[in-house]
Chains A and B, each alone.
Chain A
Amino acid sequence: GENVEQHPSTLSVQEGDSAVIKCTYSDSASNYFPWYKQELGKRPQLIIDIRSNVGEKKDQRIAVTLNKTAKHFSLHITETQPEDSAVYFCAATDSWGKFQFGAGTQVVVTP
């Protein structure tokens, strides 16, 4: 089955700097890669996603890149702000929607 590894487990950045989180997956049939943000005590919220036929997607300060050959994808957050502090999860899934999540990255943005 699918296995998703996520790095780093914690990431501290200064406000205004960029943050990058990387995930690798094992199943070449995976074709959808969402990223979720989970604040303490709250539900995971979908922040951006990418499908296997696209190499990069951007939405304001966040972007995701996908390298299908190497089976890895990354989340990039630019101009980080204190409200970006949260746990971020990557996931990979095939066409019937069984998500395999990474272990999460705790992002701390310090003013």
Chain B
Amino acid sequence: ETGVTQSPTHLIKTRGQQVTLRCSSQSGHNTVSWYQQALGQGPQFIFQYYREEENGRGNFPPRFSGLQFPNYSSELNVNALELDDSALYLCASSHDRGSYEQYFGPGTRLTVT
């Protein structure tokens, strides 16, 4: 298993609420990417953070926002939750921005009712 951890494991929220998901990168990794994986689909890139700065974003609305801390742990925040936000949220850390290999955490299963 990788050293990437995520919390919580599962979460149930109501439409319109806000949620914060957390990720702790593997030791020595300064880059983290977040992905949304809907049931039966491949992970979809949300954004990437490198040394506390956003380093690229996928096709997700601004209500998806993130943060990376000096210790390189990270948060994904989603405002105004919609039913379609129900998915597995994965973070993946990599050694550096230019390092290709990404190692995934176990994910947070978010259910929006």
The answer on A and B forming one complex is: yes
Contacts of A49 in B (CB 8 A): 100-101
Establish whether residues A98 and B58, one from each chain, have CB atoms under 8 Å apart when the complex forms: yes
Interface SS of chain B: loop
A85 at the interface (CB under 8 A from B): no
Encoded as 1 (CB less than 8 Å from any B CB) or 0, chain A from 72 to 110 comes to: 000000000000000001010101111111111000000
Encoded as 1 (CB less than 8 Å from any B CB) or 0, chain A from 36 to 56 comes to: 100000111110010100000
Spell out A's residues near B (CB within 8 Å).
6, 32, 34, 36, 42-46, 49, 51, 89, 91, 93, 95-104
* A-B CB contact pairs (8 Å), 5 listed: A46-B102, A91-B42, A97-B99, A97-B102, A98-B58
Spell out B's residues near A (CB within 8 Å).
2, 4, 31, 33, 35, 40-45, 48, 55-56, 58, 90, 94, 97-107
